[in-house]
Amino acid sequence: MDQIAIFASGTGSNAKAIIQYFDEHESIKVNCLLSNKPSAKALDMAASFGIHTKLISRAELENPMLLIDFLKERGISLIVLAGYLKKIPADMVKAFPNAIINIHPALLPDFGGKGMYGMHVHQAVVEAGVGKSGMTIHYVNEVYDDGGIIFQASVDLEETDQAADVAKKVLTLEHRHYPKVIEQLLLERSK
């Protein structure tokens, strides 16, 4: 059984799509959901599905080895970032080579990098007046939004679309694709 750990800082709508998709999957299980934010709705959402939840402590943020031990003890084979806004420490990237992935709400390499998250991304897309946006699933390395791209999908934008409209369109794409891309990645790896 492949065991997934989801990291989320916010609402957790992607986390929810992933948890629902893998419910009763024969070889992939969502093992736990971790958050750095006590108020993250994702924590309550995951708990309501019976998923083990964990609030990442300040000590764990400062000393990633503690978190790495926790994840290794639970047999985690893939860390899935779903709206997780803290930087992943280099030690964790080393401890989970090619086993940490992130979803970004734009077509990287455009509209990525430090400070580019959530609505900031969609606002920048609207201001740039581009005709489309989309989502990118990529490996996580030591630099924000810089790891190898695994999958992208795009959506057309209307001239009248505001940041909230773009967010809605992109989120729909994210929910549709993230669980399937995770499944494909893990099934490929276990061949």
What number of chain residues touch ligand GAR (CB under 6 A)? Answer: 17
163: nearest Cα among 129, 133, 119? 119
Choice among 104, 122, 138, 177 that is catalytic: 104
Burial (CB count within 10 angstroms: exposed 0-12, middle 13-18, buried 19+), residue 29: middle
Binding flag, residue 105, ligand GAR (CB under 6 A): yes
Please give the span between the terminal C-alpha atoms of the chain, in angstroms, as a whole number. Answer: 13
Q: How far is the CB of 159 from ligand GAR (least distance, A)?
A: 22
Q: Name the residue nearer to ligand GAR (CB basis): 64 or 105.
A: 105
Please report whether residue 133 would count as binding ligand GAR according to CB under 6 A.
Answer: no
3-state SS class at 149: strand
Q: Is 171 in the site for ligand GAR (CB under 6 A)?
A: yes
Rule CB under 6 A: is residue 82 a binding residue for ligand GAR? yes
CB of 69 to ligand GAR, least distance (A): 26
What amino acid is encoded at 47 in this protein?
A: A
Mark whether 120 is an active-site residue: no
